[in-house]
Amino acid sequence: MATVSMTVNGQAVSGEVEGRTLLVQFLRENLNMTGTHVGCDTSQCGACVVHINGDSMKSCTMLALEAEGAQVTTIEGLAQGGEMHPMQQAFQDNHGLQCGFCTPGMVMSAIDLVAKNPNPDETTIREQLEGNICRCTGYHNIVKAVQQAAKTMGG
């Protein structure tokens, strides 16, 4: 076991992990932050996406120890003062979720997408969210949500 320390949603955290412990396991099992989901074991679904130092990352593809010292943001860290993040609001407004299992990862990927491309067209959104699978096949409203959020986020 080894000690790993990082900042998660602005809070300094640390915990004991094995060398093989994935970042998503650390978040869910050590920190009880279960908003980050595990939807596959092949790094395909994107349900586990978080931000590492501002960039979206599948937290199932990274060891907890690799996040030593990192700034990590999870879905739990988005709402501020009881107000949803514009991307969360846009998903709600546009019915961009059905079962919601993929939604945390979808929202985290979409925020990174808009941060890097403030005015994405539909093709860009669909291509950039290729790594996030919604098994409900609700992509139409997800695209609409991202377009709305891009406007409210200043695109």
Q: Which residues bind ligand FES (CB under 6 A)?
A: 38-40, 43-48, 58, 60, 97-103, 134-136, 138
- Kindly tell me which of 40 and 84 has the beta carbon lying closer to ligand FES: 40
Work out how close the CB of 142 gets to ligand FES at its nearest, in angstroms, rounded to a whole number. 8
Q: Calculate the CA 118 to chain-centre distance.
A: 18
Residues in contact with 146: Cβ distance below 8 Å, sequence separation at least 6, in sequence order: 87, 90, 96, 110, 113, 114, 120, 125, 129
Work out how close the CB of 80 gets to ligand FES at its nearest, in angstroms, rounded to a whole number. 24
Cα–Cα distance, 15 to 146 (Å, whole number): 35
Work out how close the CB of 40 gets to ligand FES at its nearest, in angstroms, rounded to a whole number. 4
- Kindly tell me which of 54 and 100 has the beta carbon lying closer to ligand FES: 100
- Kindly tell me which of 56 and 148 has the beta carbon lying closer to ligand FES: 56
- Kindly tell me which of 95 and 119 has the beta carbon lying closer to ligand FES: 95
Cα–Cα distance, 97 to 131 (Å, whole number): 16
Work out how close the CB of 106 gets to ligand FES at its nearest, in angstroms, rounded to a whole number. 7
- Kindly tell me which of 13 and 136 has the beta carbon lying closer to ligand FES: 136
Contact between 131 and 108 under an 8 Å Cβ cutoff? The reply is: no
Work out how close the CB of 105 gets to ligand FES at its nearest, in angstroms, rounded to a whole number. 7
Cross-strand pairs, 80: 83
